[in-house]
Structure 1
Amino acid sequence: MVFSSLEFLFRFLPLFLIVYYLTPQKYRNVTLFAGSIIFYTIGEAMYSILLLASVLVNYILGRCMYRGEEEKGRKQTILLTLALCFDFGMLFFFKYSAFVAENINVIIGKLTGNAGALPVVEQALPLGISFYTFQIAAYVIDVYRKNIKAEDSLICLGTYLTMFPQLIAGPIINYTEVSHCLKKRHVTTIDFENGLKTLTIGLAAKVIVADRIGTLWNSIQMIGFESISTPLAWMGAFAYSIQLYFDFSGYSMMAIGLGKMLGFQIPVNFDHPYISKSITEFWRRWHITLGRWFREYVYIPLGGNRKGKPRMIFNLIVVWLLTAIWHGAGWNFVLWGVVLVSFMMLEKLFLLRYLEKSKVLSHIYLILLVPVTWVIFAITDMGQLGTYLGRMFPFFTKSGVTINRLDYLKYFKDYWYLFGIGILFSSPYPSVLYRVFQKKRMETLAVAVLFWISIYYLAISANNPFLYFNF
């Protein structure tokens, strides 16, 4: 089940909210925990046991790690290792084992001339496993560090991990951000209204913008990358960039809105990344909670930037290779991480001081570079990726394929207004306009119009899951 579906909006959510608000305050965690498991089971019944196992194992090991110990010692280290081995072991098995086995078999074949013997078992990826694994791993690490007290209640910890607003695709919430709300929370009428408005705006971002402009990227894939012109290749790259942003930021806004309606403050995950002036700044503004996770649990423990530039560069490489692999098991993701960290290192070494001198130059640099990185991110077949990049940069390749050099005119005629909407709403200006509407008490009408337009598109189109469900 996805948020952007009639089933969720008109069946699950109203029914759950009625039960939730009728439940006495002290039992609402039970209702939210049970409702979240039902939500997950509807979409992913076969892996709901894995999610519950993650709650139970980390609860037990967290309690054992914390109980009666004032200092970190060997016992705590062993317990932390067990917890992380379970968490990341499950993630590795489902997400990476087939990829690793395939590549080991290829290496063995090249070295020996015989086919590798490792079994390659393709596993369906459990929904949300990358997100909830990182979230529960942060919890046990913080317990180990004595930053937080281990949660006494299994229900509270289960509610924290499985909370359906952010279970499938984040944002990744630190336990400290919601621990007080797990014990006691109140939802006022204003909270509910603001949450509903945020939910609706996120729905509109997904359904009106992301899904509509995403059809251009789908059309290009159906045509075949060999047959598109260079302008259309760039249009496709920009379209996918807009689609991915409004798809993922739309989901995050829906999660934040649902959280407000339930009494939780879920952290912001995006801060207008496309107005950035460098790749480094872009990734401070994009998927903020994931960047925070890697900073707190990988980059800083490795030494951060405190041990000189060579060590800082090494730490950046480690973080970005892990970030790339987190997104998917494929060589295109590795290449994507290498490209990003290469530009980040160039920026830190010398490029940033030149970009800061010119706002125009820095924005052109970002707007041209980011879509290229998203193409690498999106196309998992390395041969097809090479073809697409060859279309984007034809002066680096030689191709004898006859293409329609004016194909982009047809698609520009159909999609120009969506590019305009995407560019406008990637900037902070609509937020300023929304605040003006709030002062004049017109925002409710605007949100209502967005809601019914979104419902119309949902009713006439096929279901389009959020893109980050794949990760």
Structure 2
Amino acid sequence: MSFTSLIFLFLFFPIAIIIHTFAPKKFKNKVLLILSLFFYSWGDPRYLFLILLSIIVTWFGVKRMNLIRNRREEAKFYMVCLIVINVAILGFFKYYGFLIDNVNFITRMNLKIIDLALPFGISFYTFKIISYIVDVYTKRCEPQRNISDFALYITIFPQIGAGPIVQYADMQHELLNRNVTIDKFGKGVEKFVIGLGKKVLIANNMALIWAQVKDIPDLKMSVLTAWIGIIAFTLQIYFDFSGYSDMAIGTGYMLGFKWAENFNYPYISKSATEFWRRWHISLGNWFKRYIYFPLGGSKCSKLENFRNIFIVWMTTGLWHGANWNFVIWGLYFGFIIYFEKVKFGKILSKANKKVQVLYCLFIVVIGWVMFDMNGISQILKFYGNMFIIGANGVVDGTSLYLIKISWRLFLPAIIGSTPYVFGMMDKIKYRFGKKGYFCISIFYIFIVILSVASLLGESYSPFLYFKF
């Protein structure tokens, strides 16, 4: 079930909020767990057993690990086994086909691949499970005594599809003690509406432009057409994923939870390093805490630090998808971030801020080509179109047509990817008081009406990160 489906918006979501709001405090978690399991099993109930199996094995395993925590080697063995079990499940469903393809390519064998659907949200809930195992082992938090409360942490419906990946230690208190105030509920509604508008009004339309460009044969694509297409995808993926995160965080507020922001205007970053501090913040924090720091982080030799960054970014690429383009994309950013860290960052910091932002945007846009194109040959061909090699001229009729029909979408999208819009809204609230709040409320109602009207007239468009 998607946040932008009419069934969710007009049936499941209002019913879930009403039931949770009026449920007695001692039953709120159980009610929310039932709702979350229903939400999870809506599209493909076959994998409900799989996620419940992971929850049960992890909960009992961590309980046992905690009982023997004074016997450190034995407890560590339990921790490693639990992590291996959960990673193995993720690896089988996500990388089985990728592994067989590569074995067939290397050995010239013809092993058959069983077509397995990727369990909904498995990349996200597996990382949440790992955070729980490690946090209990390192005594960052105590194990959850109630298995249903632990199951709620793993399956809570706003996060299960595409995050944010909230670590257990950051959520354990609110699982048992949370309050829904009018202010918190209102902030949640506001956040949800913003996310809905980002996804439906901007991301979905940017996706149409990018799809048009990708359908053009390589030898018939001009330089400007290629750049229009990849800029459309650059905006699409930001508004799609940040839109989902806003809707998830907003829903959390309405349920009494307060989750940290997952995006902080990444396209105004002045370096690739800063970009990844602002993009998918919860994933970046997860990799730092559970992979980068345990490997030694930056408190080691330059060679070891390079190794640590290499491992983190190769893993980041693989986490996003079972394809070599994701691995290349991850290593691409790993090399750039290391290069900025050891040398180029100091030179870059002395440049004009606009130059720094343009540098970062160029690096990121080049990276998105690797991210979305399937296969090295397609990536190289598209780069050729972007940089004149093999392109059908610099400008053609298609590129002029795309500019004519889409500039009204590109302009608000570019402005909306900066802090300008929400900064202006805060000024209106501060300067005009109740009248300002009233005007902004009308603006949000307008977004909802436009979004619903758009959803009624278009085919289903899932969030991009659902496939990861």
**Where on the TM-score scale, by shorter chain, does this alignment land: which range?**
over 0.9
Please tell me whether residue 438 in structure 1 is matched to residue 429 in structure 2.
yes
Please tell me whether residue 346 in structure 1 is matched to residue 343 in structure 2.
no
CA offset at residue 255 of structure 1? 0.4
The corresponding residue for 2:321 is 328
Please tell me whether residue 466 in structure 1 is matched to residue 460 in structure 2.
no
CA offset at residue 44 of structure 1? 2.4
Q: Secondary structure at the match of 1:277?
A: coil
1:292-337 residue CA offsets vs partner (Å, 9 max, x unmatched): 0110011111111101222111111110000000000111111111
- Give the Cα–Cα distance (whole angstroms) in 1 for the partners of residues 220 and 134 of structure 2: 50
CA offset at residue 17 of structure 1? 1.7
CA offset at residue 402 of structure 1? 8.7
CA offset at residue 248 of structure 1? 0.1
- Give the Cα–Cα distance (whole angstroms) in 2 for the partners of residues 403 and 349 of structure 1: 37
- Give the Cα–Cα distance (whole angstroms) in 2 for the partners of residues 203 and 402 of structure 1: 38
- Quote the RMSD (CA, aligned, Å): 1.5
Deviates further, 219-228 or 138-147 = 219-228
- Give the Cα–Cα distance (whole angstroms) in 1 for the partners of residues 343 and 355 of structure 2: 15
Please tell me whether residue 297 in structure 1 is matched to residue 290 in structure 2.
yes
Deviates further, 425-434 or 249-258 = 425-434
- Give the Cα–Cα distance (whole angstroms) in 1 for the partners of residues 332 and 387 of structure 2: 16
Alignment-mate amino acid for residue 459 of structure 1: L
- Give the Cα–Cα distance (whole angstroms) in 1 for the partners of residues 214 and 440 of structure 2: 38
Q: Secondary structure at the match of 1:448?
A: helix
Is the 8 Å Cα contact of residues 194 and 260 (structure 1) preserved in structure 2? yes
Is the 8 Å Cα contact of residues 72 and 144 (structure 1) preserved in structure 2? no
Q: Percent identity?
A: 37
Alignment-mate amino acid for residue 251 of structure 2: L
Deviates further, 245-254 or 15-24 = 15-24
CA offset at residue 353 of structure 1? 1.5
The corresponding residue for 2:52 is 52
Is the 8 Å Cα contact of residues 62 and 150 (structure 1) preserved in structure 2? yes
The corresponding residue for 1:316 is 309
The corresponding residue for 2:138 is 145
CA offset at residue 434 of structure 1? 2.0
Is the 8 Å Cα contact of residues 59 and 147 (structure 2) preserved in structure 1? yes
Q: Secondary structure at the match of 1:267?
A: coil
Aligned residue pair count: 461
Alignment-mate amino acid for residue 407 of structure 2: W
Alignment-mate amino acid for residue 332 of structure 1: N
Please tell me whether residue 365 in structure 1 is matched to residue 339 in structure 2.
no
- Give the Cα–Cα distance (whole angstroms) in 2 for the partners of residues 360 and 403 of structure 1: 25
Which of 384, 395, 413 is the matching residue for 1:422?
Answer: 413
- Give the Cα–Cα distance (whole angstroms) in 2 for the partners of residues 452 and 283 of structure 1: 34
- Give the Cα–Cα distance (whole angstroms) in 2 for the partners of residues 181 and 403 of structure 1: 56
Deviates further, 282-291 or 302-311 = 302-311
Q: Secondary structure at the match of 2:258?
A: coil
Is the 8 Å Cα contact of residues 224 and 399 (structure 2) preserved in structure 1? yes
Is the 8 Å Cα contact of residues 224 and 395 (structure 2) preserved in structure 1? no
Aligned runs of 1:57-72 on 2, under 5 Å?
57-67=57-67, 69-71=68-70
- Give the Cα–Cα distance (whole angstroms) in 2 for the partners of residues 30 and 403 of structure 1: 60
Alignment-mate amino acid for residue 82 of structure 1: C
1:244-264 residue CA offsets vs partner (Å, 9 max, x unmatched): 000000000000000000011
Deviates further, 224-233 or 165-174 = 224-233
Deviates further, 69-78 or 58-67 = 69-78
The corresponding residue for 2:100 is 101
- Give the Cα–Cα distance (whole angstroms) in 2 for the partners of residues 74 and 144 of structure 1: 11
Is the 8 Å Cα contact of residues 135 and 169 (structure 2) preserved in structure 1? no
CA offset at residue 405 of structure 1? 2.6
Which of 387, 390, 405 is the matching residue for 1:393?
Answer: 387
- Segments of 5+ residues of structure 1 without an aligned counterpart are 110-114
Please tell me whether residue 221 in structure 1 is matched to residue 218 in structure 2.
no
Is the 8 Å Cα contact of residues 209 and 232 (structure 2) preserved in structure 1? yes
The corresponding residue for 2:433 is none
The corresponding residue for 1:22 is 22
Is the 8 Å Cα contact of residues 228 and 403 (structure 1) preserved in structure 2? no
Which of 403, 408, 424 is the matching residue for 1:412?
Answer: 403
Alignment-mate amino acid for residue 312 of structure 2: V
- Give the Cα–Cα distance (whole angstroms) in 1 for the partners of residues 416 and 214 of structure 2: 26
CA offset at residue 426 of structure 1? 0.9
Please tell me whether residue 3 in structure 1 is matched to residue 3 in structure 2.
yes
Alignment-mate amino acid for residue 90 of structure 1: I
- Give the Cα–Cα distance (whole angstroms) in 2 for the partners of residues 219 and 43 of structure 1: 29
The corresponding residue for 1:377 is 371
Is the 8 Å Cα contact of residues 273 and 283 (structure 1) preserved in structure 2? yes
The corresponding residue for 2:452 is 455
Is the 8 Å Cα contact of residues 272 and 337 (structure 2) preserved in structure 1? yes
1:29-65 residue CA offsets vs partner (Å, 9 max, x unmatched): 0011000000011122121111111211111111111
Is the 8 Å Cα contact of residues 226 and 388 (structure 1) preserved in structure 2? no
Divergent runs of 4+, >3 A = 401-404
1:159-190 residue CA offsets vs partner (Å, 9 max, x unmatched): 11100011110000011222111112110122
Please tell me whether residue 208 in structure 1 is matched to residue 201 in structure 2.
yes
The corresponding residue for 2:81 is 82
1:191-227 residue CA offsets vs partner (Å, 9 max, x unmatched): 1111011100110010111111111001112223332
- Give the Cα–Cα distance (whole angstroms) in 2 for the partners of residues 166 and 459 of structure 1: 25
- Give the Cα–Cα distance (whole angstroms) in 2 for the partners of residues 14 and 120 of structure 1: 42
TM-score relative to the length of structure 2? 0.95
The corresponding residue for 1:112 is none
- Segments of 5+ residues of structure 2 without an aligned counterpart are 431-435
Alignment-mate amino acid for residue 237 of structure 2: L
CA offset at residue 266 of structure 1? 1.6
CA offset at residue 148 of structure 1? 1.1
Aligned runs of 1:270-309 on 2, under 5 Å?
270-309=263-302
